[in-house]
Chain A
Amino acid sequence: MAEYSVFSLIREGLTGHKGWIRAWRDPEPKASYDVVIIGGGGHGLATAYYLARNHGIANVAVVEKGWIGGGNVGRNTTIVRSNYMLDGNAHFYEHSLKLWEGLSRDLNYNVMFSQRGVLNLAHSDGQMDAYARRGNMMRLNGIDAELLDREGVRRLYPHLDYSTDARWPIYGGLLQPRGGTARHDAVAWGLARGADRRGVDILQNCEVIGFERDGDRITGVKTSRGTIGCGRVGMAVAGNTSRVASMLGWTLPIESHVLQAFVTEPLKPLIDGVVTYGAGHFYISQSDKGGLVLGGDIDFHNSYAQRGNLPVVENVMANGLAMMPNLARVRILRSWGGIMDMSMDGSPIISKTPFDNLYLNAGWCYGGFKATPGSGYAFAHTIAHDAPHETNRAMGLDRFETGHLLDEGGKGPTPKLH
């Protein structure tokens, strides 16, 4: 039973669930493919899916060193939003959000995208002014944004600290009602299934160990499962971009940093949407299972270890308690780390490269999950047409040479601050 529907569920329910087939195959690598995508995370799988769906390019392999969805697509806090200010980012993320809105139907797979709203709290008059400006710029770009006053925030989230002795009183907030969360594992699985059904080979436990080159042309990808010939190569290995690039003697404007995330014991419904603290760096939502999912800053130093250190744990919890003191007795069940491609201007790279037939998808900083469908859509277009899609025109690698940076936060070339 390939198609998922209420009818197939009833039919299988009446016949002992013996007809379900595996969601994607486990094929042997072919000698060559039109396109080899390196990295079986959300972005790599989405790229393969849209190559087949939008461009009719189905002779595609996705090579993944571990298992699909074992990297950052399974290690994030599942937040989806498009509350960006700069044109080069705003239109890209809004396009991505629109793809999210139809993704479950498009994939015939429930990614549990829930538009429960993303609220950024403000804690001063100055911050309210800044949010009014950001919200206005979003609305001018056709993105939904609502500025809430203190009472507006209290109506949505009555459990925050509104007391007179709050260290940073809540003045209001900026709400994007169409933002929300999605089930991250389902996104990887749904995209893998969608790509596989269109003919894409997903090759797991297939680690890239080098490249075969003819000058600036990549002729083959050497993997732990043999050398695979390639027409074009797309690299979508955020977190490890510099490691794969170093196999080509290629240096990039990226540092790898570790970002921690946490989930608590399951609770009754407490937090409807996504809330971020404005006087520190903290974000929280509640999963459908009831666990509070939360995170904060990166660890502020280069790292390839998928685990973090205690100072940031303490800082995240302190921020959370300042915003919601009633979290004090909630127990943290799990914490983990993911490796972020921190780019030099805080924005991603979806680009052609100095190599003839190699394309780069990298530099997602904290924000890769929400970009998953938009990134795959734009990267597939870039690979298929050897030219950027209209949504990733500002995300070229050459912007660091020409000075056309996309620095949303105005932080400069300091990756840890983005």
Chain B
Amino acid sequence: MILITCPHCGPRDQDEFSYAGDATKTRPADPASATAAEWHSYVYLRDNPAGPHLEFWHHIHGCRRFVKVLRDVTTHEVLACGGPDDPLETPR
């Protein structure tokens, strides 16, 4: 079971959230001038690392806000949680 600490609601069970994927991808700032290669990278390409992974979880059965989570995907251990704009670091 994955326990996610929502910055607004506190520690909650993973069942309250919907996984929203990789949090490192940024939508092209100016959609009109972005190249096809930039869109391809944003929409389809993922680093998919084996280790700490920055990801969004949507607290759909709670405050309905997006939570950013740093989680080791080889163990499912949650390393850090924060708001969408928080830079999360790997604790040493």
Task: Name A's B-contacting residues (CB within 8 A).
Answer: 240, 242-243, 246, 251-256, 300-305, 309-311, 344, 400-401, 413-416
Task: Please pick, from B36, B48, B55, B71, the residue contacting A242 in the complex, using a CB distance under 8 A.
Answer: B48
- Flag if B49 contacts A253 (CB, 8 Å): no
Complex contacts, A311 vs chain B, CB 8 Å: 1, 14-15
Task: Please pick, from B14, B36, B74, the residue contacting A304 in the complex, using a CB distance under 8 A.
Answer: B74
Complex contacts, B7 vs chain A, CB 8 Å: none
* Band of interface residues on B: 20 to 34
A-B contact pairs, 9 of them (CB 8 A): A251-B41, A252-B45, A300-B19, A301-B2, A302-B55, A309-B2, A309-B76, A310-B1, A416-B21
B53 within 8 A of A: yes
- Flag if B40 contacts A400 (CB, 8 Å): yes
* Min CB gap B18→A, angstroms: 8
* Min CB gap A372→B, angstroms: 23
Mark B36-49 against chain A: 1 for CB-CB distance below 8 A, else 0: 11001101111111
Our count of residue pairs bridging A and B at CB distance below 8 angstroms stands at 72
Interface of A is mostly: mixed
* Min CB gap A375→B, angstroms: 21
* Min CB gap A243→B, angstroms: 5
Interface centre among B14, B44, B71 (most CB of A within 10 A): B44
Task: Please pick, from B15, B37, B44, B55, the residue contacting A413 in the complex, using a CB distance under 8 A.
Answer: B44
Cα distance A401–B38 in the bound complex, in angstroms: 10
- Flag if B19 contacts A301 (CB, 8 Å): yes
Cα distance A387–B88 in the bound complex, in angstroms: 44
- Flag if B73 contacts A256 (CB, 8 Å): yes
Minimum CB distance partner of A414 in chain B:
B21
Task: Name B's A-contacting residues (CB within 8 A).
Answer: 1-2, 14-15, 18-19, 21-22, 36-37, 40-41, 43-50, 53, 55, 71, 73-76
Complex contacts, A401 vs chain B, CB 8 Å: 36-37, 40
Complex contacts, A301 vs chain B, CB 8 Å: 2, 14, 19, 55, 71, 73
Complex contacts, B44 vs chain A, CB 8 Å: 253, 344, 400, 413
- Flag if A416 contacts B76 (CB, 8 Å): no
Known: A303-B76, A309-B14, A400-B40. A243 touches B50 (CB 8 A): yes
- Flag if A255 contacts B1 (CB, 8 Å): no
Task: Please pick, from A253, A304, A309, A310, the residue contacting B46 in the complex, using a CB distance under 8 A.
Answer: A253
Task: Please pick, from A242, A310, A415, A416, the residue contacting B47 in the complex, using a CB distance under 8 A.
Answer: A242
Known: A300-B19, A304-B73, A309-B14. A255 touches B46 (CB 8 A): yes
Known: A309-B1, A311-B14, A416-B19. A256 touches B48 (CB 8 A): yes
Complex contacts, A240 vs chain B, CB 8 Å: 50
* Min CB gap B28→A, angstroms: 15
* Min CB gap A169→B, angstroms: 27
* Min CB gap A20→B, angstroms: 40
Complex contacts, B46 vs chain A, CB 8 Å: 242, 251-255
Cα distance A246–B51 in the bound complex, in angstroms: 13
Complex contacts, B74 vs chain A, CB 8 Å: 304-305
- Flag if A254 contacts B73 (CB, 8 Å): no
Cα distance A249–B88 in the bound complex, in angstroms: 24
Complex contacts, A242 vs chain B, CB 8 Å: 46-50
Task: Please pick, from A305, A400, A413, the residue contacting B73 in the complex, using a CB distance under 8 A.
Answer: A305
Cα distance A151–B48 in the bound complex, in angstroms: 47
Minimum CB distance partner of B69 in chain A:
A301
Cα distance A300–B55 in the bound complex, in angstroms: 12
Interface centre among A256, A301, A309 (most CB of B within 10 A): A301
A255-B48, A302-B55 given; name 18 further pairs at CB < 8 Å: A240-B50, A242-B46, A251-B46, A252-B46, A255-B21, A256-B50, A301-B19, A301-B71, A302-B53, A304-B50, A305-B74, A305-B75, A305-B76, A309-B76, A311-B1, A400-B44, A401-B36, A413-B44
- Flag if A303 contacts B47 (CB, 8 Å): no
Complex contacts, B48 vs chain A, CB 8 Å: 242, 252, 254-256, 302
Minimum CB distance partner of A416 in chain B:
B19
Minimum CB distance partner of B15 in chain A:
A311
Cα distance A300–B15 in the bound complex, in angstroms: 11
Complex contacts, B40 vs chain A, CB 8 Å: 400-401
* Min CB gap B19→A, angstroms: 4
Complex contacts, A309 vs chain B, CB 8 Å: 1-2, 14, 76
Complex contacts, A253 vs chain B, CB 8 Å: 44-46
